[in-house]
Amino acid sequence: MDTTSNTPAISISGLEFAYGNRPVLKGIDLEIPRGIAFGVLGANGAGKTTLVRLLIGRLKATAGSVQIFGQQPGPELSSSVGYMPQLNALYEALSVHENLDFFARMLGLSNSEHRAKAVERAMDLVDLSDRAESVMNELSGGMRQRVSLGAALVHEPDLLLLDEPTVGLDPELRATFWQHFKDMTDNGTTILISSHTMDDAAHCDTLGFMRDGKFIATGTPDELRQSTGKPDSNLEDAFLHLSRASA
């Protein structure tokens, strides 16, 4: 993937999606440039996970279009996109190393020497090298989250899609995750993180507040705080203010 292109990492136009007769996403327009952390914030049921699944090609839009680096989502982009689901998809009977090696193979790292280095790098990044031979049922919830993150970034994707990656993590581990994410965006990776946690929102470069299947506001954390007109407002205040205004 050409990381020097001016093509946005994500470009969405008129996006709609429905489960049967139940609309979930309602005409979303969004453009995310490369090399930033973009946070999709909203309550449970706002449409965040559905949006992420459309971005990875797991779902097909009812209307509108989605492009990743100028291309339609699908398997051909697997080498450029990493995905960490809300519920991890790790194999319980495999060790940390075996899980990461499996996902590296699935993501196109066929060269054994290259793959071995990628797995070691991913284990170092999520600080699990000392647990390389531990199987999943020996690990704590936080460690499993770290393995899941390692699986999403083992192939060094240009775009990383994260669905509620810090849920259930203690504050120290959440800070460690965000340091990883900051290092990645500094090196040109684009990250989209879906969350309902305002602690995550504060770390993002740009935010999109979702409510009832659409974005009600986008902007930097400071811009959204200022939207309330109150100098001491936090992001939760801003979300509630904008939600009431859009109702």
The whole-number average pLDDT for the span 51-66 is: 95
pLDDT for the residue numbered 164: 87
- DSSP 3-state of 167: coil
The domain tally of the chain equals: 1
Q: What angle do CA 78, 12, 40 make, to 5 degrees?
A: 80
Of the pLDDT bands very low, low, confident and very high (cuts 50, 70, 90), residue 3 is: very low
Q: Pick from 86, 108, 85, 82: which is nearest to 181 by CA? A: 82
246 found inside a domain = no
41 found inside a domain = no
Strand intervals (E) in the chain: 10-19, 22-32, 37-41, 63-68, 81-84, 159-163, 190-195, 206-211, 214-219
Percent of the chain with pLDDT over 70: 98
Q: How far apart are CA 240 and CA 57, in angstroms?
A: 31
Instruction: Calculate the CA 119 to chain-centre distance.
Output: 20
Residue with tokens 């205040």: 237
Task: Please say if the pLDDT value at position 57 is more than 50.
Answer: yes
165 found inside a domain = no
The whole-number average pLDDT for the span 119-143 is: 93
Domain carrying residue 93: 87-156
Instruction: Render pLDDT for 5-26 as a digit per residue (tens, 0 to 9).
Output: 689 999 999 999 999 999 999 9
pLDDT for the residue numbered 142: 87
Of the pLDDT bands very low, low, confident and very high (cuts 50, 70, 90), residue 170 is: confident
pLDDT for the residue numbered 41: 94
114 found inside a domain = yes
